[in-house]
Amino acid sequence: GGIITQTPKFLIGQEGQKLTLKCQQNFNHDTMYWYRQDSGKGLRLIYYSITENDLQKGDLSEGYDASREKKSSFSLTVTSAQKNEMAVFLCASSIRGGALEQYFGPGTRLTVL
Amino acid sequence: TQTVSQSDAHVTVFEGDSVELRCNYSYGGSIYLSWYIQHHGHGLQFLLKYYSGNPVVQGVNGFEAEFSKSDSSFHLRKASVHWSDSAVYFCAVPNSNNRIFFGDGTQLVVKP
């Protein structure tokens, strides 16, 4: 088995601040994902990375940057935090071509003051 | 682009009851579907997937789902629920090899 860790678990920032969320996986999966989950809602894809040197925009990429530093890690940056993007950010991974079966981290809860 | 819809936002049952959580998909060629569970304050956990073959798919913790092409459905069932099954359940369908579309989720509440 494997595990996905996300740091930090809680992130508090000021409006307009640049904030970075980190994700690590030890499944040896090729593909990694970042989702945003607003309170009581479903998941929206922000960015994903099919392999180590790849980066793809999802449906909600505006206002975010992502970086796949190595196979096991995938970071998400909120370029200018806004109060309306307080949410839980979930990282996931899967084998290449195996998006149907993803493994998720516990999430980072973002609060913007 | 394939999508799924989960018609029930909330379902409440008693412990020991059977439950069915509904998922309908829009047709878009080959059909693959999965279900996930999210306990409060946690990430999603993969439950099961339909890829091909037997339309009834077994998952973890006694869950199963049945794929129906005629009804465009992939409903999740459990014969006897436990309080620990209280969670939000998401149906999902791929819209490419490398990304999937999640439904809005169904909140299941199991009362003692």
Average pLDDT over residues B106-111: 97
Give the pLDDT band of residue B52 (cuts 50, 70, 90): confident
Count of A-B CB contacts under 8 Å: 56
* Average pLDDT score, chain B: 93
Residue B26 has pLDDT above 80, yes or no: yes
Domain that holds residue A106: 4-112
> How many domains is chain A partitioned into structurally?
1
pLDDT at B89 over 90: yes
Q: What is the pLDDT along chain A (113 residues), one digit of tens a residue?
A: 899 999 999 999 999 999 999 999 999 999 999 999 998 788 999 999 999 989 999 999 999 999 998 999 999 999 999 987 789 999 999 999 889 999 999 999 999 98
The total number of residues shown for chain B amounts to 112
**Based on the number of CB atoms within 10 Å of its own CB, is B70 exposed (0-12), middle (13-18) or buried (19 or more)?**
exposed
B100 or A65, which is more confident: A65
Q: What's the CA angle centered on A29, arms A24 and B74, to 5 degrees? A: 110
Domain coverage including residue B18: 4-111
Residue B97 near residue A97 (C-beta atoms within 8 A): yes
**Does the beta-carbon distance from A92 to B44 stay under 8 Å?**
yes
CA atoms within 13 A on the CB side of B88: 19
Count the domains in chain B: 1
pLDDT above 80: residue B29 = no
Six-digit token string for A100: 């149907």
- CATH number of the CATH domain containing A103: 2.60.40.10
Residues A108/A7, Cβ–Cβ less than 8 Å: yes
- Asked whether the beta carbons of A94 and B100 are under 8 A apart, the reply is no
Of A4, A33, A100, the CB nearest to B34: A100
- Please state the rounded mean pLDDT for residues B76-97: 93
Of the candidates B39, B24, B42, the residue with the CA atom closest to the CA atom of residue B88:
B39
Sheet strands side by side (includes A64-70)? A4-7, A19-25, A73-78, A64-70
pLDDT at B97: 67
The CATH number given to whatever domain includes residue B65 is 2.60.40.10
pLDDT confidence of residue B94: 86
- Which of residues A84 and B102 earns the better pLDDT score? B102
Dihedral angle, C-alpha A25, A26, A27, A28, nearest 10 °: 100
Q: Which of B102, B82, B66 is nearest to A33 (CA)?
A: B102
A66 and chain B in contact, CB less than 8 A:
no
The answer to whether residue B2 scores a pLDDT higher than 90 is no
CB nearest to B90's CB, from A42, A56, A106 = A42
Three-state SS letters, chain A: CCCEEEECCEEEECCCCCEEEEEEECCCCCEEEEEEECCCCCEEEEEEECCCCCCEECCCCCCEEEEEEECCEEEEEECCCCHHHCEEEEEEEECCCCCCCCEECCCEEEEEC
